[in-house]
Chains A and B, each alone.
Chain A
């Protein structure tokens, strides 16, 4: 076939040189990010784990550990005259029953204390002295009985109640869940998507096209940030709306913290997914890395509960730094300058993981 005829045939293919207005939507980075985003929102399970699950967890724990207006302690009483004196105390829920039933209720934790009349007008308190509720019930019950018997307090006292949002369990929990969610969604979404694409040889196919390779990895980070707005907004909004969890620090600082944290966890996810060829291998790796942080980094309870010797190791975990920073921002109103140590740790993990991931990453 001569050059002439080839040109003719080419000219005949109308669409070959059809003019195309270059638009932002056709930029490879925009297309890759869009595709990542679509793949995520078309995965109902992922939507559940990222958006619904943390809310259910927060709601469930928030309700279970809610602060009752004033703790009412249940106690059992074996005699009617004692019950009458004790009912004067509003912080006690007094139930009258025979001694056997009361003993059983005490043993199973249904009541905190059992008051039994003794010989000669004495009263015997039965309770577990290692249980704070038992000790509190002992004090309240004794005060009520002594008062009913005519005791007069020599010193006049008054109470001022300091019930402040920010010191309850739900206030502690929401930043913890936020940190855990940032870690989980970044690592799962990066890891699974990349390993799946490698397994299906889609990565190889993309590399066979003129796609700029850094754009592929960048598109994951960009789609992460897009989703982050929704993830953080839903959880923080839920806490504020239903439990009045405060955000005392600046929202801009909170946004910076969340973006930095998410990028750092995404880099960790990229590192974990850099070689694995199967979903099983990848998810095992991710669980090994995330499990210690779920436990030690203070999601559900303070990381201070671990022995002092472990504290330096716990402090440098990325999730510990993230949660400490989020709590300080939301509950104490700390600004970024005050959070420099935590931000430094998060940044350190971001740089190390990303550099390692780039070195180790396999496209096939």
Chain B
């Protein structure tokens, strides 16, 4: 193995890219280690795709440096292309070709890699290999796009929103395929605006907003560092009996209190002490409880805590 294994697969320094009226990437620093699955998480328009396309050598940055597998696009583009597997956001492959013809075409561009049939088997499309691309379901199309990315047996796989628009079953199937690739020790850079996808697949996550990284770490660490472990969401009170929100902050173990769409969201350290204390407080205020939900904190909660917005605020 080349010494690259112990280095960074991707190094980005002070990357900047502006379009006519908007700064898409604003002084971004990023490091992806060899062998890890790294997630770029953020809402639409955060600059994820621009960042990835600069790393893929498809877009020229205004300034900043990018090093992929220890090489630069300016000098080693041809060698780099051979070693990268790329799946772009919403590419439509030719509908009149069959799965096999499509994979075979992409295979012909690479010097190394498995036979087309082996790659088709790897993405579980054997039964569809003679079907026209136009006849595939959304999930099958995404798996074909993955096959076209894997066909050169890449050291580094770029996946830009691989499961956007897919149903839950198709997403899980794609996750399994990505995990299998991960097990072979190769590097993945993945963008998504699904927090569960990032938590499920990624070793480390960078949360992006307005062209900058606003948080970086493992999903667990991010959740632990910026907020408590659990979220309690409830609705209480009537017109005559309004809730005294300030009193909730004094409950033991409550880290934050945030009103949201008529409900109240509490970040708490431990459910088994916080929930009884909350109920006792409501009883003391004589305010009726109408709804109560709890869930473990997610990357979504991290994003909301950091920005005050949801990931998918349309």
Q: Which residues of A contact B (CB under 8 A)?
A: 1, 3, 5-7, 9-10, 13, 15-18, 20, 26-28, 30-32, 34-35, 38-39, 42-43, 197, 200-202, 204-205, 207-211, 364
**Closest chain A residue, CB of each to CB of B81:** A210
Sample of 28 A–B contacts (CB below 8 Å): A5-B185, A6-B1, A6-B5, A6-B185, A9-B185, A13-B184, A15-B115, A15-B119, A15-B122, A17-B112, A18-B115, A18-B118, A20-B115, A27-B108, A31-B108, A35-B101, A38-B101, A39-B97, A43-B96, A204-B58, A205-B91, A208-B57, A208-B58, A209-B106, A209-B152, A210-B78, A210-B109, A211-B109
Residue numbers in A under 8 Å from B105 (CB-CB): 31-32, 35
A3 with B114: CB separation less than 8 A: no
Which of B82-90, B189-197, B213-221, B248-256 participates in binding chain A?
Answer: B82-90
Residue numbers in B under 8 Å from A210 (CB-CB): 78, 81-82, 109-111, 152
* Shortest Cβ distance from residue B17 to the other chain A in the assembled complex, whole angstroms: 15
Residue numbers in B under 8 Å from A32 (CB-CB): 105, 108
Known: A16-B114, A201-B91, A209-B106. A42 touches B185 (CB 8 A): no
* Shortest Cβ distance from residue A330 to the other chain B in the assembled complex, whole angstroms: 35
B109 with A207: CB separation less than 8 A: no
Which of A26, A43, A209 gathers the greatest number of chain B CB atoms within 10 Å? A209
Known: A26-B108, A42-B96. A16 touches B88 (CB 8 A): no
Main secondary structure of the interface of B (DSSP, over half): loop
Residue numbers in A under 8 Å from B86 (CB-CB): 205, 208-209
**Closest chain A residue, CB of each to CB of B119:** A15
In the complex, whether B92 has a CB less than 8 A from a CB of chain A is yes
A202's contact among B94, B110, B184, by CB below 8 Å, is which? B94
**Closest chain A residue, CB of each to CB of B105:** A31
A201's contact among B56, B92, B122, by CB below 8 Å, is which? B92
Q: Which 6 pairs, one residue from A and one from B, show the smallest C-beta to C-beta distance?
A: A15-B114, A210-B81, A200-B92, A6-B185, A15-B118, A31-B108
Residue numbers in B under 8 Å from A42 (CB-CB): 96
A-B contacts besides A15-B119, A39-B96, 16 pairs, CB < 8 Å: A3-B1, A3-B6, A9-B185, A15-B114, A31-B105, A31-B108, A32-B108, A39-B94, A42-B96, A201-B90, A202-B91, A202-B92, A204-B58, A205-B93, A208-B88, A210-B81
Q: Which residues of B contact A (CB under 8 A)?
A: 1, 5-6, 35, 56-58, 78, 81-82, 84, 86, 88, 90-94, 96-97, 101, 104-115, 118-119, 122, 148, 152-153, 183-185
CA distance A313 to B127 in the complex (A): 59
**Closest chain B residue, CB of each to CB of A41:** B96
A35's contact among B78, B94, B113, B115, by CB below 8 Å, is which? B94
CA distance A35 to B56 in the complex (A): 25
CA distance A332 to B109 in the complex (A): 48
* Shortest Cβ distance from residue A202 to the other chain B in the assembled complex, whole angstroms: 6
**Closest chain A residue, CB of each to CB of B88:** A205
Residue numbers in B under 8 Å from A15 (CB-CB): 114-115, 118-119, 122
A207 with B91: CB separation less than 8 A: no
A1 with B185: CB separation less than 8 A: yes
Known: A6-B185, A16-B114, A202-B91. A208 touches B56 (CB 8 A): yes
CA distance A27 to B81 in the complex (A): 17
**Closest chain A residue, CB of each to CB of B93:** A202
Known: A18-B114, A210-B110, A210-B152. A35 touches B81 (CB 8 A): no
CA distance A333 to B105 in the complex (A): 44
B81 with A209: CB separation less than 8 A: yes
Residue numbers in A under 8 Å from B184 (CB-CB): 9-10, 13
* Shortest Cβ distance from residue A206 to the other chain B in the assembled complex, whole angstroms: 8
Residue numbers in A under 8 Å from B153 (CB-CB): 16
Residue numbers in A under 8 Å from B106 (CB-CB): 209
**Closest chain A residue, CB of each to CB of B4:** A3
Residue numbers in A under 8 Å from B114 (CB-CB): 15-16, 18
A9 with B58: CB separation less than 8 A: no
**Closest chain A residue, CB of each to CB of B57:** A208
B1 with A207: CB separation less than 8 A: no
* Shortest Cβ distance from residue B204 to the other chain A in the assembled complex, whole angstroms: 14
* Shortest Cβ distance from residue A211 to the other chain B in the assembled complex, whole angstroms: 4
